[in-house]
Amino acid sequence: MDSGIDVIRHSENVMGTVVSFAVVPGNSPARAAAAAVESACAVLHEADRTFSTWDPQSPVSRLRRGAASLSDLPAEVAGVLEFCESARKASAGWFDPWAIEGGVDPTGLVKGWAVDQAVAVLREAGMDAAMVNGGGDVAVFGVPAPGQGWRIGIRHPWRAGSLAAIVVATGAVATSGSYERGSHLLNPFTGDLASKAASATVTGPSLALADALATALAVGGDEVLAIVAGLDGYAGYLIRPDGTEADTGNVAFAS
């Protein structure tokens, strides 16, 4: 864990990716800030143990194959599935973990949910501000410095090392697209592998919901963009497979 005068930075390998932290402790002692980051990492590892679909003995794997019921599992599982149902309704069915072969799979939402929990730990510990980046899905609070916002780059889908856009985040930013896992994007209405966006980004107050909506936007394209536009506090930006772009008109692009 690296610390400076104004920010503490840390990277954690968890949930199949690298989660990076940038924490502004403010008046909190460095030791307290380090402890808060450690607690936030513990939350991520617990989420990984609970929701891993690769571990056959994880609670969610046992649920998927019918070896356990919800009442046998940690309460977090039922809570996340309730969130999945809310996301399915919010996306008009374009995000549907129950359409996955092999049983319900909350993977498309759970990383964002876990990062939200980690950010909540940092906030409750009294940190002034923080950014937690879970492999491109980002949640923030506060500001990194007076008069500045958290600037989040959106990777260009085809130009390696280039950014398609930069947004100023006040809550969450989630991005999905064919450049990262296009062959795994499932149209829940047809069961076919499909993507109508090379890159799909959703911003809003909840990273869990933004994560689910970004997956839906990558699959449904402009139809889902219109849905996102109608959700209070959320915004969407997509790059179509032909390279043209569209957004909901309320994305906080950096000037």
Does 254 fall in a domain?
no
Q: Look at residue 255 and tell me if it is in a domain.
A: no
Cα separation of 27 and 41, whole Å? 22
pTM for the full model? 0.93
The whole-number pLDDT of residue 3 equals: 45
Task: Judge whether 16 and 53 are in contact, CB under 8 Å.
Answer: no
Those residues with Cβ within 8 angstroms of residue 230's Cβ, 6 or more apart along the chain or in another chain: none
Give tens-digit pLDDT for 41-66.
999 999 999 999 999 999 999 999 99
Q: Find the range with the poorest average confidence among 2-6, 163-167, 200-204, 233-237.
A: 2-6
**SS3 state at 65:** coil
Asked whether residue 253 is domain-assigned, the answer is no
pLDDT tens per residue across span 176-226 = 976 655 457 889 999 888 789 999 999 999 999 999 999 999 999 999 999
Q: Give residue 41's pLDDT.
A: 99
From the centroid of its chain, how far is CA 195?
19
Q: Is 117 a domain residue?
A: yes
> Whole-angstrom Cα distance, residue 98 to residue 105?
7
Kindly report the CATH number assigned to the domain that includes residue 144: 3.10.520.10
Tokens describing residue 252:
């906080």
Average pLDDT on 6-10 reads 92
**Residue range 144-173: average pLDDT?**
91
Q: Is residue 252 a part of any domain in this protein? A: no
Is 234 in contact with 204 (CB distance < 8 Å)? yes
pLDDT in tens, 55-103: 999 999 999 999 999 999 999 999 999 999 999 999 999 999 999 888 8
Decide: 39 and 125 in contact? Cβ < 8 Å: yes
Query: In the chain, how many domains are there?
Result: 1
Q: Range of 26's domain? A: 2-247
pLDDT at 179 (0 to 100): 60
Mean pLDDT of 119-126: 98
Check: CB of residue 172 under 8 Å from CB of residue 204.
Answer: yes
